[in-house]
Amino acid sequence: MTTSAPLLEMRGISKGFPGVKALDNVSLTIGRGEVVAICGENGAGKSTLMKILGGVYQPDAGEILMDGQPLKINGVNDSIKRGIAFIHQELNILGNLDVAANVFLGREPRNALGLIDRKKIHADTVPFIQQLGLEVATRKGLDDLSIAQQQMVEIAKALSLNARLIIMDEPTSSLTLTETKRLLELVCELSGRGVSVAYISHRLGEIEECADRVVVLRDGKNAGELTDEESSHDKLVNLMVGREIKNFYVQPKGTKAPGFFKVRHATSSLHPGKFVSFDAARGEILGFAGLVGAGRSEMARAISGVDESTQMEVFLDGKKLSIAKPRDAIDSGIYLAPENRRTEGLVVEMTVRENISLPSLEKSSRFGLINRRHERKIAAEQVASLKVKTPTIETRVLNLSGGNQQKVVLGKWLAMTPKVMILDEPTRGIDVGAKAEIYRLMRKLADGGTVILMISSDMEEILNVSDRIAVMHEGEISGVLERADCREDNVMQLAVGKKIPAAKPALMN
Amino acid sequence: MKKESGLFILLIVLCATVCGVEFYNQLASKEALHLPRFLSEANLSNTANLIGLFGIFSIGAGMIIITGGIDLSVGSMIALNGMLLVLALTEWHWFWPLGVAFALAVPMLLGLGHGVLITRFKMQPFIVTLCGLLLYRGAARFIANDMTKGFGDAAGFKTLQYLASGTFPPPPPVTPPNMPPIPAPWWSASVGVPMPFLMLVVIAVIMWVVLHRSIYGRYLLAVGRNEEATRFSGVNTKWVVASAYILGGLLTGISGILFAFYTNSVSPSTHGNFYELYGIAAAVLGGCSLRGGEGSIIGILIGTTLLLVLQNLVNLLNIPSSLNFAVMGAVVLVGVLADQIFKNRASRKGAR
């Protein structure tokens, strides 16, 4: 073992998924006891890179060195054996078991009878949780702990495995301010003890506070590095943005009617006490940008009546609507194409025809009986006008490609007349050709007088498709950008919660 | 449809086997060849009667299974329902249509209760209806003081008795001894179709339209497949699920009335025992998936018929009746296994 070699080195890592190159020749070095922050926009490749370290994915190219020795990580267990612990954003805990059982899961000490040695497991757990300053009994069930405490238990587990590198994927996303502070202190303590930490976060403040070095990824490539001394908010944002963006914005043709659709005080349980209010014009595509977890999908679910939002007020064409359930929104012409196509947008085991007609069955029926000829006609019309590639309308949706599935979702709403169409990540997992078709369709709908609200985490898409962009940050709209100000750096600044002069407030008055 | 035709072929093969074995026995014992007992008037009429009785509540069980739920309380509901009907008609002396309405309303209300507990309080269908199974059995035994109660000579509700357990067309009237013979009306027949079978046919036609041609049926199937996506499409999914339990209650109620007249008396501790399992077995054998969203009326009908023909076969072929349940279990197991194997093979072919 050469002491001069860093703890871990990743060289020229590439990884592709069908249709996307997630990582392209990325390198990363982590020293002993070093805290390295990894940041970048949504989809920059941070999580993929860490999942390769954690053994979740295998790289297509490149090598990993540990202590200067080449290392092949074939799976999650391999990575754990090498002293790499991964603390996911969604914690991997068993809520029904106690602290000790979680820490020693799969490695339970046995007694002479081959049963779990209960005394030993609890005694062995104590030093680890004391090290972390976690003041809970080892017999406490995990369900009874706060999320911050559960996270500590995961860290205790990492320490019990003699982890030399702990990867934390957005560890503070569901912590309170004081809990976040405690976690950042802990990260410093760990590094003082020689444990390295790779820290993924969107929160630039935290990064500046605890990281020795910041590695920025952009579009699956290394965008640059900053040491603790160099790093500043602006420099970070500059590194994160600055990609080349092809311009394919299409000017709206129709006349806009500002204030046609108004939302006031939409709330969600994700960000209690925060409100979303905005106005949208008829004929415009209003983009909603923001980092993952900013509360955009929750807003969409509230407006379309899927989730309860008691204080919300919605006005369409001057009329106040009361939306308590999905049917209310649908009857008013407000439709949602949800983020999770396969679980929320479609009944994938049913046919194209059955999916398209589902929300409008009452129009294809008399006395509660379905007029099958009418139903088929409507489905066939949508399939033809959206150019859905399907053998027949009787094909089950699960046999279609992602882009065609999304067209079926759109078809089920376009079979009625949308006044407000909310599209949540409309082109996620869709190939380039189908994307362009969906953009054309959105513009056509807007020109026809529909309000389009498009939630997207794809920067290129949000910049090129939207007529205006509302940027959300932690459950609120942090600013609205007019078309002329729709630039990547502006969006990013607002998305991380910074005020910029170009941004207009969500409501003018 | 492929699945139903497969099952139908299985059914035909089974019937042919019974007849074949019977012929073989006739030859072996050097009897003169005659019509197999399986095809005799009495046996066909009896089997049809049983198919009617079991088929009606099996359709209800199927509707509930299609939503992704299950109903374990059917047998106890039939006992409670039968007991209430006996008491209403023979002890409280209600006008019989009122008794019938009562005997249908109670299981529908119980079904509504199940539906509310499952959709509003998010309890698991298995638990809710398991508790129902215990509760209603207990209630039936309690209100009857754990005694068997019968309809006696059905004084005052002969019409109902005929509707529930007679045959159509009705048999010619029996002439009492020492009386001039009563001329049989032209529409009477010595052999008729048992009423429960006729009712099953009517109910099956209605339910076929409901499940396969109505909006409600489409919602039932959609909810069973993906409740979340169905809710996003503006369907009141809670109501759809709850209503399936009410519908199940109604069909169980109808079956319960027919069963009470079939046995002509209700012994509260054994009446309807294990019927929920017949219903589930018939529905599953007929192609309903316990995961929900899959099933057809024709499938359920063939499933019921298969189970009852099997029982008939056990009797006719002198297989020890103690093996009754074992034969049923084996057939359901093999049927569902075969279906799964076909499905796996088909999906592997599709993946290629």
Query: A305-348, pLDDT tens digit by residue?
Result: 999 888 899 999 999 999 999 999 999 999 999 998 989 999 99
Residue B235 scores a pLDDT above 90: yes
pLDDT digits (tens, 9 = 90+) for A92-106: 889 899 999 999 988
Across the interface, of A343, A365, A370, the residue whose CB is closest to B228 is A343
pLDDT digits (tens, 9 = 90+) for B289-344: 999 999 999 999 999 999 999 888 888 888 888 888 888 888 888 888 887 888 78
Residue-level pLDDT at A455: 95
Residue-level pLDDT at B180: 77
Inter-axis angle of helices B74-86 and B237-263, to 10 degrees?
Answer: 60
Alpha carbon distance B53, B68 (integer Å): 24
Q: Buried b / exposed e across A154-168, counting CB within 10 Å, b at 16+?
A: bbbbbbbbebbbbbb
Which chain A residue lies closest to B230 (C-alpha atoms)?
A347
Residue found by looking up tokens 């932690």 in the block: A474
Across the interface, of B216, B225, B350, the residue whose CB is closest to A349 is B225
Question: Which pLDDT band, with edges at 50, 70 and 90, does A17 fall under?
Answer: confident
Task: Please state, as a whole number, how many other Cβ atoms lie within 10 Å of the Cβ of residue B46.
Answer: 14
- The answer to whether the CB atoms of A359 and B233 lie below 8 A apart is yes
Residue-level pLDDT at B183: 75
Task: Please state, as a whole number, how many other Cβ atoms lie within 10 Å of the Cβ of residue B107.
Answer: 30
Residue found by looking up tokens 């939630």 in the block: A455
Residue B209 with chain A: CB contacts under 8 Å: 369
Residue A368 with chain B: CB contacts under 8 Å: 214-216
Residue B218 with chain A: CB contacts under 8 Å: 354, 358, 361, 370
Residue B58 scores a pLDDT above 80: yes
- The answer to whether the CB atoms of A350 and B222 lie below 8 A apart is yes
Which chain B residue lies closest to A328 (C-alpha atoms)?
B234
Across the interface, of A327, A343, A354, the residue whose CB is closest to B234 is A327
B238 touches chain A (CB under 8 A): no
Residue-level pLDDT at A75: 87
Residue-level pLDDT at A2: 47
Task: Report which listed range, A56-70, A123-137, A409-423, is most confident.
Answer: A409-423
Judge whether B19 and B35 are in contact, CB under 8 Å.
Answer: no
Residue-level pLDDT at B101: 97
Residue B213 scores a pLDDT above 90: yes
Range B223-232 average pLDDT: 95
Question: Which pLDDT band, with edges at 50, 70 and 90, does A34 fall under?
Answer: very high
Residue A403 scores a pLDDT above 50: yes
Range B95-107 average pLDDT: 96
Q: Does residue B176 have a cis peptide bond before it, meaning omega lies within 30 degrees of 0?
A: no
Which chain B residue lies closest to A346 (C-alpha atoms)?
B229
Residue-level pLDDT at B351: 47
- The answer to whether the CB atoms of B222 and A354 lie below 8 A apart is yes
pLDDT digits (tens, 9 = 90+) for A209-258: 888 999 998 888 898 888 888 877 778 878 887 666 667 778 888 777 88
Range B32-61 average pLDDT: 91
Question: Which pLDDT band, with edges at 50, 70 and 90, does A415 fall under?
Answer: very high
Residue-level pLDDT at A508: 61
Which chain A residue lies closest to B235 (C-alpha atoms)?
A327
Residue-level pLDDT at A289: 93
Which chain B residue lies closest to A329 (C-alpha atoms)?
B234
Question: Which pLDDT band, with edges at 50, 70 and 90, does B181 fall under?
Answer: confident
Range B183-188 average pLDDT: 75
Residue-level pLDDT at A242: 64
Question: Which pLDDT band, with edges at 50, 70 and 90, does A28 fall under?
Answer: very high
Q: Which of A347, A362, A366 to probe the B interface (max B CBs under 10 A)?
A: A347
Q: Which amino acid is at A385?
A: S
Average predicted confidence (pLDDT) for chain B: 91
B213 touches chain A (CB under 8 A): yes
B221 touches chain A (CB under 8 A): yes
Q: How far is CA B135 from CA B74, B75, B140, in A?
A: 12, 11, 9
Residue B33 scores a pLDDT above 70: yes
B346 touches chain A (CB under 8 A): no
Our CA-based measurement puts residue B112 at a distance from the nearest CA of chain A, in whole angstroms, of 22
pLDDT digits (tens, 9 = 90+) for A132-165: 888 889 999 999 888 888 998 999 999 898 899 9
Across the interface, of B216, B226, B236, the residue whose CB is closest to A343 is B226
Q: In the A/B pair of chains, how many CB contacts fall below 8 A? A: 71
Residue-level pLDDT at A1: 44
- Comparing A174 with B69, the larger pLDDT belongs to B69
B234 touches chain A (CB under 8 A): yes
Alpha carbon distance B75, A483 (integer Å): 68
Which chain A residue lies closest to B222 (C-alpha atoms)?
A347
Query: Nearest Cα to B232, choosing from A66, A337, A235, A236?
Result: A337
Which chain B residue lies closest to A331 (C-alpha atoms)?
B234
Within 13 Å and on the Cβ side, how many CA atoms surround A149?
A: 16
Residue-level pLDDT at A99: 93
Question: Which pLDDT band, with edges at 50, 70 and 90, does B142 fall under?
Answer: very high
Residue B347 scores a pLDDT above 80: no
Residue B119 scores a pLDDT above 70: yes
Percentage with pLDDT > 90 across chain A: 52
Residue-level pLDDT at B6: 83
Question: Which pLDDT band, with edges at 50, 70 and 90, does B32 fall under?
Answer: confident
Residue found by looking up tokens 């359901």 in the block: B332
Across the interface, of B215, B225, B229, the residue whose CB is closest to A361 is B215
Q: Which of B218, B232, B247 to probe the A interface (max A CBs under 10 A)?
A: B232
> What residues form DSSP beta bridges with A17?
A20
Range B93-106 average pLDDT: 96
